[in-house]
Amino acid sequence: MKKLPIGIQTFSKMILSNCLYVDKTRHIAELIQSGDYLFLSRPRRFGKSLLVSTLSEIFSGNQQLFQGLFIYDQIEWQSYPVIVIDFNGISYYDDEVFKTSLSSFLDSVADEHDVVLSKTYVKDKFAELIKKLSDKTHQKVVILIDEYDKPIVDHINDLEKAAKNREILRNFFGVLKYSDAFLHFVFLTGVSKFSRVSIFSDLNNLRDITFSKQFATLLGYTQPEFESYFDQYIQTLCFEFGLKKAQLLAKIKTWYDGYSWNGKDKVYNPFSILNLFAEQQFDNYWFASGTPTFLMQLIKQTAYEPTVFENKKVSKIVFDSYNLENINVFALLFQTGYLTITQIDKKARTLQYVLNYPNFEVKEAFITYLFESFTKNRLEAIQPAAEDLRTYLEVENLEAFMNLIRALFAKIPYPLHIEQEAYYHSLFYMILVLMGVEIDLEVLTDKGRIDGVLALADKIYIIEFKYGKAGTKMSSLTNQAIQQIKDKNYGERFLNESRPRLLLGVGFVEKKIGYQLVTG
101 and 184 both lie in a single domain: yes
Query: Do residues 195 and 62 both lie within one domain?
Result: yes
Degrees, nearest 5: CA angle 74-78-84: 105
Answer yes or no: is 2 within a domain: no
Residue-wise pLDDT tens digits, 213-227: 999 999 999 999 999
For residues 250 and 273, state if they share a domain. Answer: yes
* pLDDT at res. 277: 98
- Please indicate, yes or no, if residue 270 is contained in any of the structural domains: yes
Do 201 and 232 sit in the same domain of this protein?
Answer: no
Banded pLDDT at 446 (limits 50, 70, 90): very low
Query: What's the rounded Cα separation, in Å, for the pair 74 and 72?
Result: 6
pLDDT of res. 452: 73
* Residue 197 pLDDT > 70: no
In the structure, what pLDDT confidence band is assigned to residue 121 with cuts at 50, 70 and 90?
very high
Sheet harboring 312-315: ordered strands across?
312-315, 352-356, 340-345
Same domain, 386 and 326: no
Asked whether residue 4 is domain-assigned, the answer is no
Lowest mean pLDDT among 327-341, 380-394, 402-416: 402-416
Residues 429 and 451: their CA atoms lie apart, in Å, by 10
For residues 471 and 492, state if they share a domain.
yes
Domain region containing 263 = 221-375
Residue 325 burial (CB count, 10 A)? 8
Helix, strand, or coil (residue 86): strand
Distance CA 510, CA 474 (A): 11
Read off the amino acid at residue 248.
L
Q: Where are the alpha helices (DSSP H) in 417-473?
A: 421-434
Write the pLDDT tens digit of every residue in 56-71: 999 999 999 999 999 9
pLDDT tens readout for residues 466-482: 888 888 999 999 999 99
Please report the pLDDT score of residue 60 as a whole number.
98
Domain count, the chain: 3
Mean pLDDT of 232-260: 97
Per residue in 24-55, pLDDT (tens digit) is 999 999 999 999 999 999 999 999 999 999 99
* Residue 149 counted as domain residue: yes
Is 160 contained in some domain?
Answer: yes
Q: Is the pLDDT of residue 392 over 60?
A: yes
Q: Are residues 194 and 81 in the same domain?
A: yes
For residue 416, pLDDT beyond 60: no
Per-residue pLDDT tens digits for 259-312: 999 999 999 999 999 999 999 999 999 988 876 778 888 887 777 778 888 889
205 vs 41, more confident: 41
Q: How confident is the model at residue 443 (pLDDT cuts 50, 70, 90)?
A: very low
> Is 1 contained in some domain?
no
Does one domain contain both 387 and 371?
no
Is residue 124 one of the residues assigned to a domain?
yes
Q: Which of 359, 372, 37 is nearest to 205 (CA)?
A: 37
Q: Are residues 184 and 308 in the same domain?
A: no
Q: What is the mean pLDDT of residues 106-115?
A: 96
Helix axes 379-394, 398-410, angle to 10 degrees: 160
Give the pLDDT confidence score for residue 378 in this predicted structure. Answer: 86
- 242 and 203 housed in the same domain: no
Q: Which of 348, 375, 402 is the last residue of a domain?
A: 375
Q: Does residue 6 sit within a domain? A: no
CATH of the domain at 18: 3.40.50
Residues 146, 265, single domain; the answer is no
Residue 353 CA to residue 355 CA, distance in Å, equals 6
Q: Which residues contact 410 (CB under 8 A, 6 or more apart)?
A: 511
pLDDT for res 198: 64
